[in-house]
Amino acid sequence: MSLVLALVVGVLCASGVVLLLERSLTRVMLGVALLGNGINVLILAMGGKAGRAPIIGGSDARPMSDPLPQVLILTSIVITFALTAFVLALAYRSWQLQGSDEVQDDIDDRLVAARRAAEEPSDAGADAEAEAEADAAAAAGETAERDAIAGDEPAPGTGTGAELPR
């Protein structure tokens, strides 16, 4: 593999991974496309030198090219196209519903993170009854915490606010 192709593969794959880690679905879509193209160039470069057409005949088989890398690249192109189209559909639907294509945090994940941040390691001599009371208070206050984290916005489809147009 030549140095130029190695650099191209590295730049495409690295920029694709960086874009995949973004919150914007448009950037995720571009990251999928770049990563797919980087892998295709890698497979092409690892396929070896170009040779004659792989047609079985009376000639020596050594100068013939291997068709397997080309078949793998065609399959990869189809899979990358399908995945890109799917992420594009997700981004478009998100844009229609929310006005942006940013992926939001899950409310339950934020609740768990807030609960873990509030908990402190207990002392070795802590009373078991105090821990049970704290667990009961946490279970009772879970709904209030969830409402406080979620804000005043009702969840779509709950019937407690403006419904989304169909």
Within the chain, which residue ranges are assigned CATH 1.10.287?
Answer: 3-50+67-98
Cβ–Cβ < 8 Å for 8, 39: no
Per-residue confidence (pLDDT) for residue 120, from 0 to 100: 61
Pick the CATH number of 3-50+67-98 from 3.30.70, 2.60.40, 3.90.550, 1.10.287: 1.10.287
Nearest to residue 78, comparing CAs of 36, 15, 125? 36
Q: How far apart are CA 147 and CA 58, in angstroms?
A: 77
* pLDDT given for residue 66 in this prediction: 73
Alpha helices of 21-160 — where are they, by DSSP H?
25-46, 68-98, 107-118, 128-140, 142-150
pTM of the predicted protein model: 0.58
Question: pLDDT (tens digit, 9 = 90+) per residue, 41-66?
Answer: 998 888 766 666 656 666 666 666 77
Is the confidence at residue 38, as pLDDT, over 90?
yes
- Tell me the per-residue pLDDT of 75-132, one tens digit each, with 9 for 90 and over: 999 999 999 999 999 999 989 998 888 888 788 888 888 888 888 665 544 555 656 6
Q: Which residues contact 134 (CB under 8 A, 6 or more apart)?
A: none
| Percent over 70 (pLDDT), the chain | 60
User: CB–CB of 125/118 below 8 Å?
Assistant: no
Residue 1 has pLDDT above 70, yes or no: no
